[in-house]
């Protein structure tokens, strides 16, 4: 099958979840003999025309100079290019800035949309943007041939609201071969002597709730915050918690073996995502045998089940930290169960092979 992936800033991943997913899926399908193209921003750090057998198509992206408007123009450029390529299937990751151009997709190409999370619920957006995102969601559902939900919570939402039959296909993770204590040295970290938060620093990821649970003067271990802290919100967070030296913002870490080691040797891993689907960083925390403390919502619970502790407010977090010794047996069992999930239902082979078969069935259905 000749397939295109768009809706990301490109591969290899230098940004976030969709980029990581696109990198892994495209390489997997290319290894299966598929003709795969991924659309990249023209200013992506990787400027080659191929990556692990995947064709790279660089499209002009004015986001850095125009902001949000630039995202729309980049997506428009990607969509217009698909009209020239005779793809069997276009797989778009997300729909926010491409929805108003969906009518421009080539008519004889199957359009599959991964619907991501409930974008209109993200608190960083004002009411006007939220209304647009609700509209964009409806347009994406209407103009896509098939829908993919990356979590059971999102599938339930889509199927009930729009009377669809979306296909559940989660993200993947693989258990690292090893973890290096030396990776901690450059950050002055001591194994099992710090808590960890890895996320894009955005309000809906409950960053402040997690930090607020850690600001007690009685805690003598650091909370390490990994994520780009040079955004407007990131700078606000650093200023707000400047008086608490044990809250340490160390920026983004894209070296995966290094990040995996930091995860593995953390005392507790706090996951605050609340409006998305299956989050890749959560799966990676499971793969790294982390002691996971997650925000109490359907998306996290559909992945973790009973194999995590949950919080609804800073007080919950404070109590979990203060009585961490009481949870050692629980975490010991939870880590083993989460590892088994990664090896089975969230493995790359299982997820991508199942998705590949579904894409083939959709192509066959369309041919009829």
- Are both 2-172+347-367 and 181-343 of the same fold? yes
**Angle at which helices 127-143 and 152-162 pack, to 10 degrees?**
80
200-245 pLDDT tens trace: 898 889 999 999 999 977 777 899 999 999 999 999 999 999 999 9
Q: Is 209 helix (H, G, I), strand (E, B) or coil?
A: helix
Q: Tell me the pLDDT tens digit for each residue of 337-362.
A: 999 999 999 999 999 999 999 999 99
pLDDT score for 333:
97
* CATH, domain 181-343, list 1.10.3210.10, 3.40.920.10, 3.40.50.2000, 1.10.1740.10: 3.40.50.2000
Query: How far is CA 117 from each of CA 51, 254, 341, rounded to the nearest angstrom?
Result: 28, 23, 22
Sequence spans of domains, the chain: 2-172+347-367, 181-343
3-class DSSP state for residue 36?
strand
pLDDT of residue 18: 87
Q: Do the Cβ atoms of 21 and 280 come closer than 8 Å?
A: yes
Q: In CATH, what class is 2-172+347-367?
A: alpha beta
| pLDDT score of 17 | 78
The H or E element spanning position 74 is: helix 68-82
| Spatial separation of the C-alpha atoms in residues 240 and 106, rounded to whole Å | 49
Residues contacting 224, CB < 8 A, separation 6+: 187, 189, 194, 195, 196, 197, 248, 250, 262, 266
User: What CA–CA distance (Å, rounded) separates 202 from 116?
Assistant: 16
pLDDT-flagged residues of the chain (< 70): 117-124, 368
pLDDT at 172: 92
CA distance 152 to 133: 21
| Residue entry with tokens 């080539």 | 106
Q: Taking the CB of residue 332, how many other CB atoms lie within 10 A of it?
A: 11
pLDDT of residue 15: 79
In the prediction, which pLDDT does 130 show? Answer: 83
DSSP string, 160-197: HHH---PEE--------S---GGGGGGGT--TTS-EEE
Find all residues with CB under 8 Å of 36, minimum gap 6, and list them: 3, 4, 5, 26, 29, 30, 53, 54, 55
Q: Which two tokens stand for residue 167?
A: 């296909």
- Residue 167, strand partner residues: 148
């Amino acid at each position: 099958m000749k397939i295109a992936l768009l809706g990301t800033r490109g591969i290899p991943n230098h940004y976030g979840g969709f980029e990581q997913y696109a990198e892994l899926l495209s390489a997997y399908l290319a290894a299966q003999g598929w003709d795969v193209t991924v659309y990249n921003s023209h200013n992506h750090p990787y400027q080659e025309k191929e990556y692990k057998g995947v064709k790279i198509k660089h499209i002009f992206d004015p986001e850095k100079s125009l902001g949000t408007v630039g995202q729309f123009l980049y997506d428009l450029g990607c969509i217009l290019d698909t009209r020239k390529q005779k793809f069997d299937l276009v797989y778009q990751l997300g729909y926010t800035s491409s929805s108003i151009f969906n009518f421009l997709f080539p008519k004889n190409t199957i359009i599959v949309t991964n619907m991501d999370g409930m974008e209109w619920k993200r608190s960083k957006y004002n009411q006007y943007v939220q209304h647009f995102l609700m509209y964009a969601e409806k347009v994406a559902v209407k103009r896509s041939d098939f829908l993919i939900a990356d979590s059971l919570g999102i599938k339930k939402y889509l199927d009930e609201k729009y009377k669809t039959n979306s296909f559940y296909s989660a993200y993947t993770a693989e258990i690292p071969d090893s973890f290096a204590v030396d990776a901690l040295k450059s950050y002055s970290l001591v194994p099992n002597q710090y808590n960890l938060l890895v996320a894009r620093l955005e309000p809906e990821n409950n960053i402040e709730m997690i930090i607020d649970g850690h600001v007690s003067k009685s805690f003598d271990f650091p909370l390490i915050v990994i994520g780009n802290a040079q955004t407007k919100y990131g700078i606000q967070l650093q200023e707000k918690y400047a008086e608490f030296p044990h809250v340490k913002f160390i920026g983004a870490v894209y070296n995966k073996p290094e990040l995996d080691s930091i995860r593995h040797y953390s005392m507790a891993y706090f996951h605050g995502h609340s409006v998305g689907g299956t989050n890749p960083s959560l799966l990676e925390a499971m793969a790294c045998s982390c002691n996971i403390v997650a925000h109490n919502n359907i998306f996290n619970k559909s992945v973790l089940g009973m194999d995590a502790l949950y919080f609804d407010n800073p007080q919950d977090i404070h109590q979990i930290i203060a009585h961490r010794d009481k949870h050692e047996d629980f975490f010991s069992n939870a880590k083993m169960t989460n590892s088994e999930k990664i090896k089975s239902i969230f493995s790359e082979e299982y997820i991508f092979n199942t998705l590949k078969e579904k894409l083939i069935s959709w192509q066959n259905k369309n041919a009829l």
